[in-house]
Structure 1
Amino acid sequence: MCLIIGPNWSWKTLLLKKTQNFHSVKEIDKLGEIPSTIPTVGTNLVNVPTGKKQETVIREVGGCMCPIWNSYLKDLTALIFVIDISNTLQIAASCIQFLTVLNNTAVQNTPILLLLNKSDQPLALSRFEVESLMRIDDIRQNTKHQITILEISAFNGKGLTEVIDWVHQASTKS
């Protein structure tokens, strides 16, 4: 199972709804319609198509459930951590939460996808700025985790194919 977590208002639910309805690169233009969502208070289980007749189960855990994320970290094939890069005030808190997750022994050998969401917003930080603020180079040097970073927009679908490809690869390796 793949787990998607992140602070409140990072659009995890919208991202999952869009990936759930995504079947090919040719359909990216059809994703313009924004499904209605409400922030997840508990958890959601979503089957995401990752290949021909293949699906991966992704559990979304609401940002408000951050204090109990640890109880969902066992038996993962992959972990996705979503950050809203248009909210500069949230970056520091996101970094602390990300480091807390990385230090959990339950995710020791789990591939991690760090999604920099809302890259389409005018006030969004650049990938370089986020990596500098979070000190990603230092994190990579001091962890055994394989960390992949993607800039995405759950709103307009930017980076969606890369996310699905990553989930597919992570789920087939386990």
Structure 2
Amino acid sequence: MSPIWSSYYGNCHSLLYMMDASNPTQLSASCMQLLGLLSAEELAKASVLILFNKIDLPCYMTMEEIKSLIRLPDIIARAKQNITTVEISASTGAGLATVLLWLQNQHRINPSS
């Protein structure tokens, strides 16, 4: 689906990007996709929420492991966008309240979105 993402960039104020925190191999590939999104000029002013999903699984990576693997501090420091991260479990709902609050705050900042 990523080849058609650019057709949805217009008037985008917020971006939610989900990564699988239980799969280090997939995390690397997802990071490459994320870097592509962050470099898109149309998304330069968008706020970004990166969701690290599957924290309910015994094999999930900690935030420290993820930060190290994908060099998250470097990505955040160099990105034009304001980036927030949250650990979630789509299965159990853990972290969902944080995501909803973030979305609510983004809507307050950009009420037309």
TM-score (norm 1): 0.62
Identify the residue that residue 90 of structure 2 maps to in structure 1: 154
Alignment counterpart, residue 94 of structure 1, candidates 30, 36, 58 = 30
Gaps of 5+ in 1: 1-64
Higher helix share: 2
Identify the residue that residue 68 of structure 2 maps to in structure 1: 132
Secondary structure of the structure 2 residue equivalent to 1:100: helix
Q: Which amino acid aligns with 1:157?
A: G
Identity %: 37
Identify the residue that residue 4 of structure 1 maps to in structure 2: none
- Aligned runs of 1:1-150 on 2, under 5 Å? 65-150=1-86
Q: CA deviation at 1:144?
A: 2.0
Higher strand share: 1
RMSD: 0.8
Gaps of 5+ in 2: none
Identify the residue that residue 16 of structure 1 maps to in structure 2: none
Runs of 4 or more, structure 1, over 4 Å off, are none
Distance 1:101 1:144 in 2: 11
